[in-house]
Amino acid sequence: VSDYWLMATGYGRGQVIGRTFTDFVDEHWHETYRARRNATHANICEVTVPFIKANGETMTVLILEMKSAASDEHGGLSLSVMTDVTELKQAESRNHAQAITDHLTGLLNRQGFEAALDDAIRNADETVTELACIFIDLDRFKWINDNFGHAAGDEVLRQVVTRIRTTLRPDDTMSRLGGDEF
């Protein structure tokens, strides 16, 4: 291990020499890490996994591994490069959340709703349960915007969301499909 790796992870050299890399990977990701060799291209494989630093914090790392010609399925020599991609993954998560969220109400938008509905249908099929989907369209909402302005219309939408939420169960999903449609 390099001095930079030790500095970035907080481990001492004696703490890591002789241990396998999976000792430092979140246990729920061990199989993902082991499966990296199945997706090998020209003796190079890559995987992104949560890595546990010496202080207990988790960072997301990209591992690029090049196996030597002497390597086989039982091991051998390899060169691995670990890159901290924590901030990149957090930015991706924020971008994804923004892409599926309505900025005014904080609810799922149409794209988020479609994904949630797909998941709910899949879950209902797997558990042989029923699923209901209710569509709400506010009457005369355009009149509010035209006569009181968009700020008033936005406040009406937020109030509608607050009121509908009081009737939902904790595992129910609500979304704003657009305009005055929920």
**Among all residues, which ones are annotated catalytic?**
180
Listed residue (20, 18, 15, 25) closest to 48, CA to CA = 25
What is the spatial distance between Cα 155 and Cα 139, in angstroms, rounded to a whole number? 16
Q: What are phi and psi of 167, to 5 degrees?
A: -95, -5
DSSP letters for 101-130: B-TTT-SB-HHHHHHHHHHHHHHHHHHT--
Residue 80's DSSP bridge partners are 65
Q: Is the dihedral of CA 19, 25, 31, 34 positive or negative?
A: negative
Under 8 Å CB-to-CB from 54, ≥6 apart: which residues? 9, 10, 11, 12, 15
